[in-house]
Amino acid sequence: MHWLYPDIDNIIHNIEQQFRNIFRKLNIKASLSYRIKSPYSIWIKTLVKDIHITALNDILAFRAIVTNKKACYDFSKLIHLHYNTITSQFVDYIRYPKNNGYQSIHLVISGGSNKGNIELQIRSTTMHRQTQYGSAHHTYKANKYYVSRTNNNVSV
Protein backbone atom coordinates (compact mmCIF):
# COMPACT_ATOMS: atom_id res chain seq x y z
CA MET A 1 0.00 0.00 0.00
CA HIS A 2 2.95 2.33 0.46
CA TRP A 3 3.36 2.63 -3.31
CA LEU A 4 -0.14 4.14 -3.47
CA TYR A 5 0.29 6.39 -0.42
CA PRO A 6 4.06 6.60 0.13
CA ASP A 7 3.74 9.38 2.72
CA ILE A 8 0.49 8.29 4.39
CA ASP A 9 1.11 9.92 7.78
CA ASN A 10 1.77 13.32 6.24
CA ILE A 11 -1.18 12.96 3.86
CA ILE A 12 -3.52 12.22 6.77
CA HIS A 13 -2.11 15.04 8.90
CA ASN A 14 -2.38 17.58 6.05
CA ILE A 15 -5.94 16.61 5.18
CA GLU A 16 -6.99 16.79 8.83
CA GLN A 17 -5.50 20.28 9.11
CA GLN A 18 -7.14 21.45 5.89
CA PHE A 19 -10.54 20.05 6.91
CA ARG A 20 -10.23 21.68 10.37
CA ASN A 21 -9.56 25.01 8.66
CA ILE A 22 -12.68 24.61 6.55
CA PHE A 23 -14.74 23.71 9.65
CA ARG A 24 -13.45 26.85 11.38
CA LYS A 25 -14.14 29.00 8.31
CA LEU A 26 -17.74 27.73 8.28
CA ASN A 27 -18.02 27.86 12.08
CA ILE A 28 -19.04 24.18 12.07
CA LYS A 29 -18.58 21.84 14.99
CA ALA A 30 -17.50 18.50 13.59
CA SER A 31 -15.76 15.26 14.29
CA LEU A 32 -13.44 13.75 11.76
CA SER A 33 -12.31 10.16 11.47
CA TYR A 34 -10.35 8.23 8.91
CA ARG A 35 -9.51 4.67 8.11
CA ILE A 36 -7.12 2.85 5.86
CA LYS A 37 -8.65 -0.19 4.22
CA SER A 38 -6.84 -3.36 5.23
CA PRO A 39 -4.90 -5.32 2.60
CA TYR A 40 -7.37 -8.20 3.02
CA SER A 41 -10.36 -5.90 2.42
CA ILE A 42 -8.64 -4.42 -0.62
CA TRP A 43 -8.03 -7.89 -2.02
CA ILE A 44 -11.65 -8.98 -1.40
CA LYS A 45 -13.08 -5.83 -2.99
CA THR A 46 -10.92 -6.18 -6.11
CA LEU A 47 -12.08 -9.80 -6.46
CA VAL A 48 -15.77 -9.12 -5.82
CA LYS A 49 -15.89 -6.11 -8.17
CA ASP A 50 -13.36 -7.57 -10.63
CA ILE A 51 -11.29 -4.38 -10.69
CA HIS A 52 -7.63 -3.42 -10.33
CA ILE A 53 -6.44 -1.95 -7.03
CA THR A 54 -5.83 1.42 -8.71
CA ALA A 55 -9.57 1.64 -9.46
CA LEU A 56 -10.43 1.69 -5.75
CA ASN A 57 -11.36 5.12 -4.44
CA ASP A 58 -11.70 4.22 -0.77
CA ILE A 59 -8.38 2.77 0.36
CA LEU A 60 -8.01 5.96 2.40
CA ALA A 61 -11.34 7.34 3.57
CA PHE A 62 -12.40 10.19 5.83
CA ARG A 63 -15.74 10.74 7.51
CA ALA A 64 -16.90 14.15 8.68
CA ILE A 65 -19.79 14.21 11.12
CA VAL A 66 -21.30 17.67 11.39
CA THR A 67 -24.20 19.17 13.32
CA ASN A 68 -26.96 19.28 10.70
CA LYS A 69 -27.94 18.86 7.05
CA LYS A 70 -27.05 22.45 6.11
CA ALA A 71 -23.52 21.94 7.48
CA CYS A 72 -23.20 18.80 5.32
CA TYR A 73 -23.90 20.80 2.18
CA ASP A 74 -21.78 23.79 3.26
CA PHE A 75 -18.77 21.56 3.92
CA SER A 76 -19.32 19.64 0.67
CA LYS A 77 -19.44 22.90 -1.30
CA LEU A 78 -16.10 24.08 0.09
CA ILE A 79 -14.50 20.69 -0.54
CA HIS A 80 -15.52 21.01 -4.20
CA LEU A 81 -14.02 24.51 -4.32
CA HIS A 82 -10.71 23.62 -2.65
CA TYR A 83 -10.04 20.15 -4.06
CA ASN A 84 -10.10 18.38 -7.40
CA THR A 85 -13.07 16.07 -6.91
CA ILE A 86 -14.19 13.31 -9.24
CA THR A 87 -17.65 14.39 -10.36
CA SER A 88 -18.76 10.91 -11.41
CA GLN A 89 -18.13 9.66 -7.85
CA PHE A 90 -20.32 12.27 -6.11
CA VAL A 91 -23.42 10.71 -4.56
CA ASP A 92 -25.98 12.64 -2.50
CA TYR A 93 -27.66 10.06 -0.30
CA ILE A 94 -29.13 12.89 1.78
CA ARG A 95 -31.31 14.15 -1.04
CA TYR A 96 -31.82 10.62 -2.38
CA PRO A 97 -31.55 8.21 0.60
CA LYS A 98 -30.95 4.52 0.03
CA ASN A 99 -33.95 2.20 0.44
CA ASN A 100 -32.70 1.24 3.91
CA GLY A 101 -32.74 4.90 5.05
CA TYR A 102 -28.99 5.50 4.74
CA GLN A 103 -28.10 9.18 4.33
CA SER A 104 -24.71 10.74 3.64
CA ILE A 105 -22.83 12.67 0.99
CA HIS A 106 -20.07 10.65 -0.66
CA LEU A 107 -17.39 12.24 -2.77
CA VAL A 108 -13.92 11.36 -3.97
CA ILE A 109 -10.95 13.72 -3.92
CA SER A 110 -8.49 13.04 -6.71
CA GLY A 111 -5.02 12.14 -5.54
CA GLY A 112 -3.52 13.25 -8.85
CA SER A 113 -1.25 11.21 -11.06
CA ASN A 114 0.32 8.19 -9.38
CA LYS A 115 -1.45 8.92 -6.09
CA GLY A 116 -4.47 7.21 -4.61
CA ASN A 117 -7.84 8.93 -4.45
CA ILE A 118 -9.47 9.71 -1.11
CA GLU A 119 -13.09 9.05 -0.25
CA LEU A 120 -14.98 11.50 1.95
CA GLN A 121 -18.32 10.82 3.61
CA ILE A 122 -20.19 13.76 5.12
CA ARG A 123 -23.21 13.30 7.38
CA SER A 124 -24.96 14.87 10.34
CA THR A 125 -24.86 13.47 13.86
CA THR A 126 -28.44 12.21 13.46
CA MET A 127 -27.64 10.54 10.13
CA HIS A 128 -24.55 8.93 11.65
CA ARG A 129 -26.54 7.57 14.61
CA GLN A 130 -29.08 6.08 12.20
CA THR A 131 -26.27 4.54 10.14
CA GLN A 132 -24.56 3.05 13.19
CA TYR A 133 -27.59 1.81 15.11
CA GLY A 134 -30.63 1.95 12.83
CA SER A 135 -32.00 -0.17 10.03
CA ALA A 136 -29.37 1.06 7.56
CA HIS A 137 -26.61 -0.56 9.64
CA HIS A 138 -28.35 -3.92 9.96
CA THR A 139 -29.27 -4.06 6.27
CA TYR A 140 -25.72 -3.13 5.25
CA LYS A 141 -24.08 -5.73 7.49
CA ALA A 142 -26.48 -8.46 6.41
CA ASN A 143 -25.61 -7.95 2.74
CA LYS A 144 -21.90 -7.13 2.92
CA TYR A 145 -18.76 -9.20 3.02
CA TYR A 146 -16.62 -8.66 6.11
CA VAL A 147 -14.51 -5.51 6.00
CA SER A 148 -12.23 -4.65 8.89
CA ARG A 149 -11.84 -0.97 9.60
CA THR A 150 -9.79 1.02 12.01
CA ASN A 151 -11.23 4.38 13.02
CA ASN A 152 -8.99 7.13 14.20
CA ASN A 153 -11.07 9.93 15.65
CA VAL A 154 -9.99 13.52 15.75
CA SER A 155 -12.25 16.07 17.43
CA VAL A 156 -12.48 19.39 15.67
Q: What is the pLDDT of residues 57-114, one digit of tens each?
A: 999 999 999 999 999 999 999 999 999 999 999 999 999 999 999 999 999 999 876 6
- For residue 146, name the pLDDT band (cuts at 50, 70, 90): very low
- Which has the higher per-residue pLDDT, 145 or 55? 55
To the nearest whole number, what is the mean pLDDT of the chain? 86
- Which has the higher per-residue pLDDT, 146 or 115? 115
Q: Is 31 helix (H, G, I), strand (E, B) or coil?
A: strand
Strands 152-155 and 30-36, by their bridges, are antiparallel
DSSP label at 23? H
Residue 141 above 60 pLDDT?
no
Domains, in order of start, for the chain: 8-155 (3.30.460.10)
Mean pLDDT of 32-52: 94
d(CA 133, CA 155): 21
Cβ contacts of residue 1 below 8 Å, gap of 6+?
8, 36, 39, 42, 59
